[in-house]
Amino acid sequence: MSATNITLEQAETAVKAAKVKAVELGTLMNIAVVDAGANLTAFARMDGAWLGSVDIAQKKARTARYFDMPTGEVGKLSQPGGSLFNIEHSNGGLITFPGGIPIENADGQIIGAIGVSGSTVENDNEVAQAGVDSLS
């Protein structure tokens, strides 16, 4: 049976892989990894990354963990008329655009999440996915 909470070593591995992808894309990112309880476990702010994205990266990671789905999917459900309309105002503020992704263990249990902010949502999501992929 796999662990039910991300370890610091795993979180640091995800951050490192995300930084590599960010450099490859020519972006400067803030990268946050939270554990299964949505507690910050690892964080990196690349030199020169936007200060305003520090909070966004952490909220993306927490949003992905709170709802166990990528933040872009939460965004689709939170549009006017959607089943989760206005949910971004809950939990002290959520982020409902791409860049936050749950992290699963080998048994498919969610053990944490990663959130990335600092560029376009497409780049944020690609960098976050690189962090997730580094743990599989």
Task: Please write the tens of the pLDDT for every residue from 110-121.
Answer: 999 999 999 999
Each domain of the chain, given as residue ranges in start order, spans 8-134
Categorize the per-residue pLDDT at 94 as very low, low, confident or very high, splitting at 50, 70 and 90. confident
Query: Looking at residues 20-35, what average pLDDT do you find?
Result: 98
Between CA 1 and CA 6 the distance in angstroms is: 14
Categorize the per-residue pLDDT at 124 as very low, low, confident or very high, splitting at 50, 70 and 90. very high
Between CA 129 and CA 99 the distance in angstroms is: 8
pLDDT above 70 (res 16): yes
Give this prediction's pTM: 0.94
Inter-CA distances, 37 with 15, 34, 66, 112, Å: 18, 7, 8, 7
Q: CATH code for 8-134?
A: 3.30.450.150
